[in-house]
Each structure stands twice: as structure tokens, then as C-alpha cells.
Structure 1
């Protein structure tokens, strides 16, 4: 394909080339490519761009990065997104595009919590939110000595939550495995282009579950399959549309899993297991795992067009190689993956909006609206299936409507949806929206969701309840703790939640529930003893440690260490004392650490007390600038 070259001046040396204008306004997509990759794969890139334009209707802008500076790329993407006509809605990062390593933003990850005083490479998060979320503001910290990493601190001047303005995806081949990165890039672009020239309908889903996933809770996995029927109602009568595999279905399991992944017409694979950048831990008990070396040894060619890696580090695109890269650069038909660059939490809504794939929505759109700092599309974010007419009342279409018209849904209406919708995923959407809003009816939503018959929603309610910590929730929590048949994962999370509630009040509520149950329990004494024992063990476990800090009993080093724990382990009922101490604390390091702590607990029922204190500190001109900056950051996190 020939391009009409257009040179746009840019102080940092970017050259912008874009395709011929068309009369009708279109969604734009930026294809950002480094100089060498552009030269080495020009023909394949031209064909890819042509397919984007002619088959998917995008207006394509090819941005050739000649200086390898993230700031210059971000500035160009922002300009293309805000232009009046044919503004971009997404970006494809091709080749050796510099990697932003984000610091001071761990609260935007799902699970990554590391001391930032250790090695910068390990304690930073590789994240393309730098390129796609323009509400964030960053302070440059310099380039890595040897690697194409650029370190940035998230500042208090911008937003403190994620809301990407565009979607993005990484196509970053390396020379690992003995094949040139440019050979890999050319082959991948041919594959991605072929997927556009010969689009397919969504046909099938494969789910693999490794050992230790979601506490190996059978109700959790049963309800996962139930959710798939709501995500993909179009497949209800389709032969071989759904297939499932557990880690103990065979020994070894990796060969059976690879065979299933090589089915010719597999649309989507969702893989639950533990992971590292070079390993899929399928069965750690028997060391039955799939490594990069194993992938290459057995000539594994995954054909699932899209793959979700519900595993830590499998999407570490910044390294010389990673599992997600092995999938997309294989000779199979995998075009796009969703994967994390660092560790991820198990208790997340991993399949949120995935049903939209069957409706022709791009995988980039889905990642954009389920964003974590570490979550990325590895592969082509514009990949999309041909739309399949959805069944009436498709859950994911309803969820998308709720998302895109959120202002039309009052808190009262969302609570009513949570209480009455026959679709589990729609109820989960309503609960999630109320949680994100930190709604005034959040306690009512939690109490309702604790009794929901959808395991994932019940599990999320327990986790939100722990963050909230409201005394009003204690009676409902006590009823949950004294149920005789909780799922293993809900029970595990409930046990963990005990430590975030006033122990005396919880013991009283649990005793009241047990007193009403004793007449209908076999071996009542042992049951009651077990429940009371768990409350006794977990209740109030952090009180003395936190109070030792607030009573000035710790030296500087141990005070900072304790503050680090308190980012996760600080009950809501102690936050007012933390706020009061922070106000009088004179140790700048400890003061900033405690401001950071309060920013982690914006969901707490006592967060208003924290908000007053941090606002006062943010506007106190007598305080050092770095303390005021941390206070402002904390204030925005609580407000958001």
C-alpha cells in the first residue's frame, strides 16, 4: 500500500505519516513503530494498515518514533486524540517502543505491592497506561542504564484512578529463541492482517484451571461456567462451543492442554493458573508446567484467536521474552492476549465484558474498560470477530449500556438492579458500579450481595466489606461466618475479613447467630468452637502493631516498615487515630508513609475523617512541599 507522506513538525523528532483523507469521519487508530521495524517490515505494515482501513474502517495514522522518548510519543497520541476530525480511539505499539516503568502508583495495580527502595527494575510497573490514559500526570525519573526502560513517578497533579482515553496494545518481538525480531514481526503482521481479511465469527471457549486457582473452589468454577452462558448466549446450541479442563484431569496435563489449545477453530481460551514471565504453572504439585523452553521444544502452535492469561507475569512484555509473546509469535493463529506485566490478583472480574467479543467489539476496547496498571493487550488490540447477533437481553450488551450511560443510572436504580436482575453478570455490574462510585448506599449493596447466589458476586462483596469496615455490616457478616456451606474461596476471604472489624462487636454478633443455630446443628459444640476460634484468632490482630506506631514506640526503620504493612492491613476503625497521629507527626518520611496509607483506604467508612486531615495538610504552607504533595495525592485518591 502506498502512503501519502505528511511531515508534521515535532520538537522531539517524530515523523507522522498518515493515510489519504476520506470524506466521512471515522475512528482513528495510531500505529506507532520504531524506525528500524518500520524499515524492516514496511511491506507487511502497509498491508496491515490497509486492512485496518478497508476492512475495519479506521482512519490510520502511522507514527514513526525517531527519538525513542516516551514523552514525545504520548504527546503525539494526545494530539491525535483531541483533534476535531478522525480522532484516534486506540494505538498499536509496534516493535521497540520504549517501556514506561511507573512508580508511586501501586494502588492502581490489582496486587503488586513492593518496597520501592529496592531495585528500580523490580519495584516499578511496566505500564502502557502512560500512553493511553491522558488524565494521569508523570514526573520523569530518567532512563535505565542499559535497557529501554524509562522511569516515571505518578504525580498528584493528575488523576489517581485509571480511565484510559484510548485502547492500546503491544506487538514487541525480541530476538529470543534464535529467530530475529524482525522475522517474527513480519510473520505476526501477516497473521494479524489475514485475520482482518478473513474475519471469523466467535465459535468456542476453552477454560483451563490450574492448581490453587481461586482456592480450588468448586462453586466458584461452577458459577464461572454459568457466567459464560450469560457472556455468550449465542453459543447455547453450538456443538463443542464450551470445553473445560482441570489440572488433575490427566498426568501430565500440559500435553492435553496444548492439544486443546491447538484446535483449529478455537476462539477464546481463558487460562487460570499461577505464572511467571517464562512459565505457566499448570500443576505445581507435580512440576507439570509449561515453560518457554517446553513451548519451543514441542512446537506448540496455539490457535485460540484470543487468550486470557489469568496468571502473574505471563505478560511481562518488557523482558527479552514472555509467555504471551510466545503465543502471539508462534505459527499458530493466536492474534491477541490479555496478560499482566507483574503479578495479578485472583479475585478480580477477569471475564468482564468478554462476551462483547462475540458482538464484534475489539479486544482493545475490552481491556480499556477493565484497566489495571499492569494489564495489557499483547498483540493486536484492534482484533475483532465478525459480530454474531446476540440473544435478546444479552448480559454483556446490558453491562456495556450501563457502563456507557452510567450517568443515567442512579444509585437507587443500580441497587434495584442488584436486587432483582435475573442475570448474575448484570447484578455484578451494578454492584461494581456502586463500589466504584463509593455510593451512599454501598452498605446496602454489600448486605444484598453477601446473600447473592452468584459465587463471584458474593466473593466480591466479602472483599468490599473488608475494605469498608462499617459497623452496620457486622450482623450480615456474622450471618455469613456462621453459614454451614460457604464456598472455599468465600470462606477464605471471609476469614481474612475478620481482621478488619471491631473484634468485640463481631464476637457478640457471631454469638447471637450461633445461639439461634444450635438446635439445628449436628455436633453443635465443635461447629461453634471452630467459628468462635477463627474470630478469636483473626480479630484485632493488627491493633497492637498499629498502636505501637501511633504511640511512638517504634524507631524510624520499624515505623516505616509498619506503615508499609498498613497499606493493606489497617482496619477502618483505627484510621481516625492514624489520621490524628499523622497530623502531629514530625518525621517527614513517616508522615508521608502514613498519608500514603490513608490513600489506600478510600473505601473505608471512616475515610471522611482522613479526608479532612489530608486536606488540611495539603493546604498547610508551613509543611514541606513533598509532604503537601503526598497529602494532595492522598486527597485525590480518597475523593476518586
Structure 2
């Protein structure tokens, strides 16, 4: 009996040992808290540096917890975080250090900006989103699916249908995870980074954000020069201290130099740079900078053609086609001689090609022997923030011997047409980079490095802590609406909208849009009005389509298509025809016009020309109308015909239905509802159609979808999968 009692005591002790260890703050006089979440192995290997980092964070105004364990799953981590939060409601953020499990999120693609991969057709590892929103959005619910067999640090979860369907992080989060392929000892590297972050705290107390570099890469925003130039309107509002000398703010574009990467390396070596913003395309280990060199001579054009055809030939051969047949086919199609293909298998040719390709991009390996010094680096690109991978660009910037302390990047592909610099000016006002990042959360967007980093403010304030401690103090935030700084006003609007449970704020937001001289405040007003889905939002979008700030116009043009209200057509047509020097905005207008009834669009074009004074108006009108009709017939009508055609395979119909997720065709809503209601359609088709309806959340016909979902959910003959999808769509409509 004594043996059994002793054994039970031993088991209890083991159970206690297995629980997370929580080291409480050593400072009890601070009301705002922060938590360092780490694994036991990282803690033991880096403990001295971690303590120095903890102490530096506390001396900078955050009571710091350390939570550690041999984590078995992300849920274990989340449970430990919840426990800390229940003890410290003033918790403003966390950092995940070392080998903390990664949640791979599914069934939540509406929370991404662009990622729309078919979860049924592609492997879990490709079709899931690595996301720490699992940890920092405490109100969201997830269903565990499985652990990855080959990469056991990855765990798959899906968002439940009755969970909130909109991101609203409870606090900010960041990752400090070493890129394995960089080589060396990961624990030593993490310790060095923690020491770097700790030492920087004292210096940052007097470091104002007054040195900024922005770079736009090849192919970004359709290479629209007006979009690029107009960003400086916002930058002057974001960074009031960065325009005093010629080198305080540098605004680079890929067109300025070929190759550009070495000039960028020069900029990254400047210790005085505070913030570096990359607006470009990317991959986990690549930043796409220049693109092909412009062909300025006949030889250049020949070389470019040769390279292009060689690449296509090699791709065709790689797919298993015989080389002689592929070469013969290309020679026949382009009237090419045998001499044209003489270098196809020439190693020297491909060696030179490889060197040329390496000149136009930045690769992860480029930082194995270089340093970067901007304190914060932003990557707008796809995949540059893929911290779950063995190597990723953002990690290379953090773990070199330079001064970079934080990086913002994405784990998946990301939309170009988004407000990439929203709220970034808060960094000028002493806001911690984590707080800023929390305000612009997406499922794929992440902060890596030290989230507690902050610059000395333009003027002394307590906003960073107030964003946590005075979240619902509407009088306080109303008082900040009179700030002379655009981003402070934008933050005040956001906090007021977050606290607007009665949904009465939209008239005030519309008035702000109408009257604000600040470009970024007008943009914030439009974005916040999108929450209300009412006539105030529609009116702001109508006005915004021709706003003097290109980004407001571009995103308003996109909103117009998602709304589908006919009253927006005249403004869209004006932008499409008379404002097409704004290439990206006109592109969005073109896409949005395809979402309206074609007859209404044609009439709007005719009305425009009836009162216009354009050169050769009759011929131009005919070209415009023919082009719009061609788009309608080739894409819109064909897509919806395929959706309706029950003789097609489910795969073909589902492929077309999935296209509706990015293209809410309002005129075809009756068709979509009928497909869901008709049990003769397969469950897969009905479920996919119900999912697509979730993207009509701004539609002028949104209430019809809400009513339909409520009606269908009362039926007892629906497949469980369809009921679940309708419930999720309903929740998305009502968010």
C-alpha cells in the first residue's frame, strides 16, 4: 500500500513538472505586461541573454513574464498564454522565442489578403496558413486536425464555423526563430539577438524616427508611377521628422538602376536608417528587385528573346517531351534556324545566365556575409516572412551582426492592392512596433524580432500603453481627434470604431472623410466605414473613387465592385476612362465593372460620353463598350454558364465557383442561391457555393444572403457539411 501511495505521489510530481513554468515579473510597479514564451531547451541554452532581454524590457516600461515548457502542441501554448492573460489583463503583447510550435490554419482564407488555395486538392502543408493569430486572437476558436509527420513543429487546425470570423488580436505577438539553413548554432544566434535587442533599449530612448528608405520593386502595383509617387503624400504625414535633409527620406524605384540590389545593400549598411520598407514581390528566400534588363538595342532584344524561348524549351523538356521534338516545334512556330539553338545545352551560356539572374534579385545567402542596420524592415512581398521554413528572408535580416531588430513579413502570398503602410506613422509617435502590427493584422502577416521596440516620440505621449489600458475610453480617444498628426487621428478613429458596439459612428466617419486634409486619415475613414456596410460607406466609396490620393481611389474602386450599388457606376466609369493614367486604380475599376449587370455598365458609359468633350468620342465609346462586352462574354458569362451547367463535372463547376470568391457577381446571386437549395447538385458543389457567398460581405444584396442562410439553417435535411458552411457564411455576413 505504501508503494502504491509513493507511486501516486511520484506520478503527481511528474505531472506538476510537466506543467508550464511561469516566471513572474520582477517589477510589480508596472501596469502594462509582456510575456516571453519559449521552450525549455532554448531557455536553458540562452538563459543569461534572455534575462538581460527581460530586464531591458522591464526597464522600458513592461512587466515581463517568462513562460516555458516542452510544448506538445500549439493548444498547450495558447492555454498557458490565456492563464497569463487572466492574471495580467494589461498584457499588451508576447514574443515566441525558439522552437514554439507553429499553427497551420485552415478554413480561414477570408482572413488572408490573397491566399485562396483549394484545401481539398492541395496537400495540407501547401494549403494551410502558418499563423500566430492562433495565439494572439483569444476569441477565435479552432478545431485540431493533425500534426505534420515530416515537420513535427507544424500543427494543423481549422477555424470553427461558429467562431468570430474577423481578426481582432487581443494583444500583439512576434517570433524570434532562427533560420536553420543560415548555419551555425541556433541557440547562440538567438542569444546574440536577445542581447542585441536588450542593448538597443537604452539607445532607442533618444532615437527618433527620422531616417527612412522606401523601395518599390519590379512589377509591384502594375509598375504604376503615379501610385509610387503618390505614396510620398502619405510618407510626409507618417514621418514628420524625415524630410529635413536630402538623405533623411529616400524613395527608390527599381527603374533607377540595373541592377539595383547593390545600391540597396549600400542603404542597408547605413547605421542611421531607422526604417526600411520593401514594396516588392518575393518568395521565402528571395526578394524580386529588378526584372529583366530593358532591351535598348537589337542585340538586347535578340538576347531577351533567346533567353525566353530557351526557358520555355527547357520547361517543356522537363515535363518529359523529347528535346528534338520540342526544338522542332519552336523552330517551326517562330521561324528559327538551327543556329538559334546552339547554346541550349551550353554550360557556359547557362552559367552567364545564372550570374545575370542573381544580379536582379536578393537571395537569403546574400546576408550570410553582410550586415543590415535599419532597426525595422518591412517586407510587403509574398512569403518573405515564412518563419516556419528552414530559411526565410526576414530571419536573415534579424540574425546577422547588424542592427536590425524587427521585421514585418508574410508567410503566404499577399495582395498588392492593400494599404501596406496603414498606421505605420504611429512609430514616429513612440508606439511599440508590436502595437502597430496588431492594428494591421492579417492571417498571413507577422512580426519577427523584438515587438517591444519603439522610437522616441515626436512629442511625449502614452499612446502605446493606452491602446491596451484605455482601449474603451472613448472620451480619451475623441480628444485625440484634434491631434495635428495624421496617424494619431487615425488611431483615435480606429479605437472609437472598435468601441462602437451600437454601430452609430458611421456619420462621423463619413464627415471625417469629407473634410480631412490628411490623405491617410481619409483612407482610414473609408476602411472603417467598410465595417458598417451602409449608405455612408457607399457614399464614401463613391467620393473616394476620384480622391486625390491614388491609394484611396484604388481601394475605393475595389470596394465599389464588392458593393455592387448602381449609384457607383458613374464614378467608376469616370476613373476607367478619364483617370486611366492611374494604371492600378483603373485596373481595379475595370475588374469592378465586370461585377455589375452589363446593360447597366453600357448605359453608364453612354451617359458619360453624352456629356463629355473627348477627342474622337464616338469611336472611343465604341471601343470601350466593345471591350467591356468582350470581358463580360469571355469571363463573366462563361464563368456563370459553367457554374449553372449540370452536365459538367463537379471539378469544373467547383473551379468556376471558386472564381466567384474574388469576383462577387451580384447579378447572378439568384443562380447561386438556387444551386445551394437544389439537392440535385452534389454536396461538394453546394458547399463550395455556400462558401463563395461569404465573399459577398459588402454586397448591396447582403441581406438577401443573410435571410437565405437563416432560412436554410432551419431545414433538417441538409448535409452537415453544408449546414456548417452556411453557418460560417452567416457569421461572416454579420461580423
Structures share fold, TM-score greater than 0.5: yes
2:85 — aligned with what? Answer: 81
**Is contact 1:232–1:358 with CA below 8 Å preserved after alignment?**
yes
1:330 alignment partner, one of 400, 414, 431: 400
The alignment status of 1:112 with 2:118, answered yes or no, reads: no
1:90-131 deviation digits (Å, cap 9, x = unpaired): 110000110100011111101111011211101100000000
Tell me, in whole angstroms, the C-alpha distance in 2 between the residues paired with 1:253 and 1:126: 31
Match of 2:464 in 1: none
TM-superposed CA distance for 1:239, in Å, is 5.5
TM-score (normalizing by structure 2): 0.82
Aligned to 1:567: 661
- 1: CA distance, partners of 2:619 / 2:17: 74
Deviation track 1:199-223 (CA, whole Å, cap 9, x = no partner) reads 1221211011111111111111111
- Structure 2 residue matching 1:343: 3-state secondary structure: coil
**SS of residue in 2 equivalent to 1:76:** helix
1:230–1:423 CA contact under 8 A, matched in 2: yes
Listed one character per residue, the Cα deviations across residues 242-279 of structure 1 (whole Å, up to 9, x for unaligned) are 11211121222100111011111100011111100010
| Alpha-carbon distance between aligned partners in 2 of 1:393 and 1:87, rounded to the nearest angstrom | 28
260-269 or 582-591, larger mean C-alpha shift: 582-591
**Does 2:347 correspond to 1:341?**
no
Q: Give the counterpart of 1:262 among 255, 269, 274.
A: 269
Does the Cα contact within 8 Å between 2:179 and 2:387 map onto a contact in 1? no
Match of 1:552 in 2: 646
Q: 1:404 aligns with which of 478, 491, 495?
A: 495
Query: How far apart are 1:449 and its partner, in Å?
Result: 0.6
Measure how far apart 1:82 and its partner are. 2.9
**Which residue does the alignment assign to 2:222?**
215
Report if aligned partners of 2:579, 2:586 keep a CA contact under 8 Å in 1. Answer: no
Give me the whole-angstrom Cα distance separating, in 2, the residues matched to 1:171 and 1:579.
46
Which one of 19, 22, 26 corresponds to residue 25 of structure 2?
19
In structure 1, the partner of 2:128 is: 124
Higher share in helix? 2
- Tell which structure's C-alpha radius of gyration is larger: 2
Q: Does 1:252 align with 2:259?
A: yes
Instruction: Tell me how far apart the structure 1 counterparts of residues 673 and 257 of structure 2 sit (CA, whole Å).
Output: 54
Aligned to 2:673: 579
CA RMSD of aligned residues (A): 2.0
Pairwise mapping of residues 410-421 of structure 1 onto structure 2 (< 5 A)?
A: 410-421=505-516
1:458 and 1:76 map into 2 onto residues whose CA distance is 45
Rounded Cα–Cα distance in structure 2 between residues aligned with 1:174 and 1:496: 39
Q: Distance in 2 between matches of 1:418 and 1:484?
A: 21
Which stretch of structure 1 is more off in the superposition, 30-39 or 495-504?
495-504
Say whether the 8 Å CA contact 1:31–1:62 is kept in structure 2: yes
TM-score (normalizing by structure 1): 0.94
User: 2:607 is matched with which residue?
Assistant: 512
Counterparts of 1:530-549 in structure 2, within 5 Å, are: 530-539=623-632, 541-549=635-643
Q: What is the aligned partner in structure 1 of residue 621 from structure 2?
A: 528
- Contact 2:287 2:363 (C-alpha < 8 Å) held by counterparts: yes
Match of 1:36 among 35, 38, 41: 41
Q: Is the Cα contact below 8 Å between 1:234 and 1:389 reproduced in 2?
A: no
Contact 1:90/1:166, CA 8 A, preserved across alignment:
yes
1:374 and 1:484 map into 2 onto residues whose CA distance is 33
How many residues align? The count is: 627
User: Gapped runs of 5+ residues in structure 2?
Assistant: 1-12, 294-356, 461-481
Q: Is 1:460–2:464 an aligned residue pair?
A: no
User: Is there any run of 5+ residues in structure 1 with no aligned partner, and where?
Assistant: 1-6
1:625 to partner: Cα distance:
2.4
What SS class does the counterpart of residue 467 from structure 1 fall into?
helix
In 2, Cα distance between equivalents of 1:465 and 1:60? 46
